[in-house]
């Protein structure tokens, strides 16, 4: 962990945080978030703007205020529980069966998830089953952790993620080779890219690397969702998608978009603000379209 001020070191010390019951941390964080919602108009407006970029155009658009409040609470709670001991996410019988079905086959497996809930803990749960996956990450993941809260956050994420990182820049041939030799690769689905997609009730230009990699390598696609349940977490695993069952890359990509959309709309408040993970100002209530001139997200 990089050095930081005393206050930050106390808040982010794994040793000290192990002494705090996670149930208590959850309760305190929830009360703190509720107070922010009631007392801070700027925080409330930002939460409303974030949620509007997610649910505008969907059947849940009329629930904006309620879901924005839930989004704020989820964000504050996540920051608090991030520093608690990471426990393996639980899987129900169906999810475990889907996971075993994919991992037991003599093929590469491409894990597909969105920036939802406890997404950063998904790979450590897979690794606990004896198979260490590769994760596609941005350039920022390899930077030297700074002596402040974000730097210590990055250091902890690196230590606990349970996977081998691959920089997203120029990664397609590397990922293709990994899948061809039967490895497990995790790719986030909701990143900016060139593929015009109907997603969350709006037009989104999404990366289609997941579908293209699966089609080119004949790898199974395993959609995942990591969600918080109280102070613990649960990993939902959908049935594996076989690229041979789809006519082309577009059809597989659209199936993934629909599946992830359904999962997100069950609990929109747990979706990360898209403006914070590569979209910036180009994620709006009308569309998620990042111009090519903006360059690659970090």
Task: Please report, in tens digits, the pLDDT of each residue of the chain (298 residues total).
Answer: 899 999 999 999 988 999 999 999 999 999 999 999 999 999 999 999 999 999 999 999 999 999 999 999 999 999 999 999 999 999 999 999 999 999 999 999 999 999 999 999 999 999 999 999 999 999 999 999 999 999 999 999 999 999 999 999 999 999 999 999 999 999 999 999 999 999 999 999 999 999 999 999 999 999 999 999 999 999 999 999 999 999 999 999 999 999 999 999 999 999 999 999 889 999 999 999 988 767 665 5
Specify if 61 maps to a domain.
yes
Same structural domain, 185 and 260:
yes
pTM, two decimals, is 0.94
End position of a domain, from candidates 53, 81, 109: 81
Dig out the tokens for 5 from the structure: 């001020």
Same structural domain, 255 and 149:
yes
Q: Going by C-beta distance under 8 Å and a sequence separation of 6 or more, which residues neighbour residue 265?
A: 55, 58, 59, 60, 200
As a whole number of Å, the CA-based R_g of the chain is: 19
Same structural domain, 208 and 236:
yes
Same structural domain, 165 and 290:
yes
Chain-centroid distance, C-alpha 212: 20
Same structural domain, 111 and 62:
no
* Tally of structural domains, the chain: 2
- Alpha-carbon span 286 to 264, nearest angstrom: 18
Same structural domain, 97 and 67:
no
Specify if 86 maps to a domain.
no
Q: Write down the pLDDT at residue 296.
A: 61
Same structural domain, 75 and 126:
no
Specify if 87 maps to a domain.
no
Q: DSSP E strands: which ranges in 140-231? A: 164-167, 184-188, 192-199, 202-206, 220-229
Specify if 1 maps to a domain.
no
Chain-centroid distance, C-alpha 293: 25
Q: Write down the pLDDT at residue 292.
A: 75
Same structural domain, 53 and 201:
no
Same structural domain, 40 and 151:
no
Domain that holds residue 22: 6-81
Same structural domain, 99 and 13:
no
Q: Write down the pLDDT at residue 212.
A: 97
Same structural domain, 77 and 191:
no
End position of a domain, from candidates 41, 61, 81: 81
- Alpha-carbon span 272 to 54, nearest angstrom: 9
Q: How far is CA 97 from CA 100, 102, 238, in A?
A: 5, 9, 10
End position of a domain, from candidates 55, 81, 107: 81
Q: Write down the pLDDT at residue 297.
A: 59
């Amino acid at each position: 962990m990089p050095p930081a001020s005393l206050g930050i070191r106390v808040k982010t010390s794994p040793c000290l945080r192990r002494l705090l019951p996670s149930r208590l941390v959850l309760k305190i964080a929830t009360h703190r978030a509720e107070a922010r919602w009631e007392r801070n108009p700027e925080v409330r407006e930002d939460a409303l703007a974030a949620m509007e970029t997610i649910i505008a155009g969907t059947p849940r658009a009329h629930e904006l205020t309620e879901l924005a409040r839930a989004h704020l609470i989820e964000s504050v709670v996540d920051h608090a529980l991030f520093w608690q001991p990471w426990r393996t996410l639980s899987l129900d019988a169906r999810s475990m069966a889907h996971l075993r079905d994919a991992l037991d086959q003599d093929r590469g497996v491409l894990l597909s998830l969105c920036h939802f809930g406890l997404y950063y803990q998904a790979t450590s749960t897979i690794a606990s089953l004896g198979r260490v996956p590769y994760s596609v990450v941005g350039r920022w993941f390899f930077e030297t952790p700074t002596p402040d809260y974000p730097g210590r956050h990055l250091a902890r994420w690196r230590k606990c993620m349970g996977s081998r990182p691959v920089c997203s820049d120029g990664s397609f041939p590397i990922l293709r080779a990994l899948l061809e030799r039967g490895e497990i690769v995790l790719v986030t689905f909701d990143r900016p890219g060139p593929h015009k997609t109907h997603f969350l009730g709006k037009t989104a230009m999404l990366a289609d690397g997941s579908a293209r990699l699966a089609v080119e390598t004949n790898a199974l696609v395993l959609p995942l969702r990591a969600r918080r349940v109280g102070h613990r977490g649960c990993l939902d695993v959908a049935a594996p998608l076989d690229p041979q069952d789809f006519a082309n890359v577009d059809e597989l990509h659209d199936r993934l978009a629909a599946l992830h959309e359904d999962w997100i709309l069950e609990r929109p408040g747990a979706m990360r603000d898209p403006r914070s993970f590569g979209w910036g100002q180009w994620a709006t209530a009308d569309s998620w379209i990042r111009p090519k001139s903006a360059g690659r997200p970090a």
